[in-house]
Structure 1
Amino acid sequence: MPAPTVVLVHGAFADAASWAPVTADLLGRGLAVRVPPVYNRSLSADAASVRAVAEQVGGPVLLAGHSYGGAVITVAGAAENVVGLVYVAGYALAEGESLGQLQGGFPDSDLAANLVYTPYPVPGGEDGTDVSVAVDAFPAVFAAGVPEERARVLAVSQRPLSAFAFGEPASVAAWRTKPSWGIVSAADRTINPEVERFGYTRAGVREIVEVDAPHLVMQTHPREVADVIAAAAAELS
């Protein structure tokens, strides 16, 4: 089998640029990479969007999802040409489980007390609710370990997540039929690291890699993240 194309899926409060250091590393190793936008409107819609990107690749695809992106790849990974999943400080949901349900089984992280809720218009319907991280708390809670100047930029350019996505259950859990790998950010203040460990263990991932890193491990430890993704791609080739 040819080496799979790596599709990097960002999470809430971030965008495709959050993967930039890892993207550069993987491209430097000769891997084909795609980094699509995730619109953060609903789990089903976001997964359908990422699945469409994966299917348009044509050949085998390895999905890597950070944070909420882990939930997205759990569903999008059901695409026939997806051959593996890599969770990066991410949510590995079970079928029928929502983000809120998985997270609710563990003590809150620092994120919970620093969320901001704002309405957004929905054509023909009631307003939706966007969830974002308080700008003043963002550097410490979400972007710990990132240089201060960059963290301040990320704080004011974050992509919110619709509140609807928190309660929407996963329609499928692709890890049941696709080999998976998991990276735990052991110093994560956005997702309780125990949520990551529990999800990966339940999913029976092939390897759990613990990194002494904050939530944006792709920014602070790109080589370690790229190593896991590249090793998974090699194993699937």
Structure 2
Amino acid sequence: MKLNSFVLAGFACATLLSATTSFAQDSAAVPSAPIKNVVLVHGLFADGSSWGKVIPLLQAKGLHVTAVQNPTTSLDADVDAVKRALAQQDGPTLLVAHSYGGMVISQAGDDPKVAGLVYIAARAPDAGEDYPALTKKFPAAPASAGLQWSADGYGKLSEQAFVKDFAGDLPTAEAETYYAVQQPIGKAITMAKTTVAAWHDKPTWYAVSTEDRTINPDLERFMANRMHAHTIELKSSHVSLLSHPTEVANLILEATGEQK
């Protein structure tokens, strides 16, 4: 009887030690420091200036903000640009993406510094998923009809598509300004597939643009729901980061833990 008690006691101690070790490992997986670094990733037909209204709102809260300038020539080149930015961060970092940038952060987001992912009216394909095929499950967004290709294989939105379908809720003069700085895209991007979907393993947030004419809002809702993302909806065109910068900044702040 004493032997059984001794064995049971030993088993209980071993179980407790195992549970304590497991708890310690789980705790180690959670960043011990708050998220103070934010890396912003722009989408197609844009550049880093598209974050110009959001950046000061984040900096005012003491966050270290970096806006990546993607070459938008290929997915690999854009992922490399984000990884270079991540290498310069000094601790846990939040990756935030608009539009096509969602593909980029889904691929680059497996970096150990990345503590969370925020998608602003953004693509979020699964690893190996054919994103153009996914879009065909929903009514086509009008902006796609305005994509024009040059003889050397680079694409831009027509002025009408940009002003009406891409940035439709900005004042016309402002939309025209961003049209002037839109960055051409490489054709390779239209065929690119991610090999990683970091949203499977990282906390995610998503802002749906309910008036979006560049990505179907129902497709945005589908992707957000599939990721189990904390989701908000903004009555906005595709460029909510420009037309609703306060709401977008607040979502980012929530993801960093700065705002509850």
TM-score by length of 2: 0.84
Ranges of 4+ aligned residues in structure 1 off by more than 2 Å? none
| Pick aligned residue for 1:136 from 150, 155, 160 | 160
Deviations, residues 39-71 of structure 1 (Å, cap 9, x unaligned) = 101112211220221122131110000000111
| Equivalent-residue separation in structure 2 for 1:41 and 1:208 (angstroms) | 30
Deviations, residues 6-31 of structure 1 (Å, cap 9, x unaligned) = 11100000111101111111111111
Given that 1:139 and 1:151 are in contact with CA atoms closer than 8 Å, whether structure 2 keeps it comes out as yes
| Equivalent-residue separation in structure 1 for 2:103 and 2:69 (angstroms) | 15
After TM superposition, the structure 1 = structure 2 runs for residues 64-143 of structure 1, keeping only pairs within 5 Å, are: 64-120=96-152, 129-143=153-167
| Pick aligned residue for 1:217 from 206, 222, 240 | 240
| Pick aligned residue for 1:174 from 198, 208, 221 | 198
After TM superposition, the structure 1 = structure 2 runs for residues 221-232 of structure 1, keeping only pairs within 5 Å, are: 221-232=244-255
Given that 2:35 and 2:115 are in contact with CA atoms closer than 8 Å, whether structure 1 keeps it comes out as no
Q: Which residue of 1 aligns with 2:210?
A: 186
| Equivalent-residue separation in structure 2 for 1:226 and 1:149 (angstroms) | 24
Tell me which amino acid in the other structure corresponds to 2:221: R
Given that 1:98 and 1:166 are in contact with CA atoms closer than 8 Å, whether structure 2 keeps it comes out as no
Tell me which amino acid in the other structure corresponds to 1:196: E
Q: Which residue of 1 aligns with 2:175?
A: 151
Deviations, residues 85-133 of structure 1 (Å, cap 9, x unaligned) = 000000011000143133222111011211101133xxxxxxxx21210
| Equivalent-residue separation in structure 1 for 2:254 and 2:151 (angstroms) | 42
Given that 1:55 and 1:79 are in contact with CA atoms closer than 8 Å, whether structure 2 keeps it comes out as no
| Equivalent-residue separation in structure 2 for 1:94 and 1:235 (angstroms) | 29
| Equivalent-residue separation in structure 2 for 1:77 and 1:66 (angstroms) | 14
After TM superposition, the structure 1 = structure 2 runs for residues 9-88 of structure 1, keeping only pairs within 5 Å, are: 9-88=41-120
| Equivalent-residue separation in structure 2 for 1:137 and 1:2 (angstroms) | 41
| Equivalent-residue separation in structure 2 for 1:24 and 1:34 (angstroms) | 11
Where structure 2 has 5 or more consecutive residues not aligned to the other structure, the ranges are: 1-32
Deviation, structure 1 residue 235: 7.1
| Equivalent-residue separation in structure 2 for 1:181 and 1:21 (angstroms) | 20
Where structure 1 has 5 or more consecutive residues not aligned to the other structure, the ranges are: 121-128
Deviations, residues 156-179 of structure 1 (Å, cap 9, x unaligned) = 221122121121110100001111
Q: Decide which structure has greater helix share.
A: 2
Deviations, residues 170-221 of structure 1 (Å, cap 9, x unaligned) = 010000111100000000011111111111111121x110111111101110
RMSD of aligned C-alpha atoms?
Answer: 1.4
Relative contact order, higher structure (CA 8 A, sep 6+): 1
Identity %: 38
TM-score by length of 1: 0.92
| Equivalent-residue separation in structure 1 for 2:228 and 2:107 (angstroms) | 16
Tell me which amino acid in the other structure corresponds to 1:19: W
| Pick aligned residue for 2:257 from 208, 213, 234 | 234
| Equivalent-residue separation in structure 2 for 1:30 and 1:113 (angstroms) | 41
| Structure ID, larger Rg | 2
